[in-house]
């Protein structure tokens, strides 16, 4: 019995150690940078807040239009989802807000700006 118990303990202990020693595998596209901790958290929050602030002025009955000049030309819009798509946002965290707005537009058909502004205010 002691031999069996010790054998199980050894294998369990070995398994736990083996799992903990294995290196973390991170797959990234070439040319991407990695960062962790509080600076990355603040960068993510600031990127999302900037996106929310960009579309905030289009909200409501007195909402203003945005003029966007990109490689495809010049467009004027006050629709949050359209603006975010035209801006071609590449920051991963801010991209999540674009996906949220797209999902809101797909499910309900309206409220894209409200969802993004609400998320930005929660992050503040």
Report the pLDDT value the prediction gives residue 12, as an integer from 0 to 100: 45
Tokens 């903990």, located at residue: 20
Given a contact cutoff of 8 angstroms between Cβ atoms, the answer to whether 83 and 75 are in contact is: no
Mean pLDDT on 52-66: 90
Per-residue CA distances from 95 to 21, 24, 50, 51, 100 (Å): 34, 25, 12, 9, 9
Query: Does residue 111 carry a pLDDT above 50?
Result: yes
Q: Where are the beta strands (DSSP E) in 4-102?
A: 66-70, 73-77
**Model-level pTM greater than 0.85?**
no
Query: Does residue 11 carry a pLDDT above 70?
Result: no
What are the pLDDT digits (tens) for 61-109? 888 998 888 888 899 988 888 888 888 888 888 998 889 998 998 899 8
Domain ranges of the chain: 35-123
């Amino acid at each position: 019995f002691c031999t069996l118990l010790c054998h199980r303990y050894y294998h369990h202990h070995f398994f736990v150690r083996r799992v903990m020693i294995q290196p973390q595998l991170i797959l990234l596209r070439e040319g991407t940078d990695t960062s962790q901790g509080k600076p990355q958290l603040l960068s993510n929050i600031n990127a999302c807040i900037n996106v929310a602030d960009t579309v905030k002025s289009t909200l409501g009955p007195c909402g203003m239009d945005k003029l966007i000049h990109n490689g495809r030309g010049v467009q004027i819009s006050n629709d949050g989802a359209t603006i975010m798509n035209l801006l071609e946002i590449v920051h991963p965290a801010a991209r999540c807000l674009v996906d949220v707005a797209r999902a809101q537009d797909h499910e309900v058909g309206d409220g894209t700006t409200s969802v993004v502004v609400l998320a930005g205010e929660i992050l503040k």
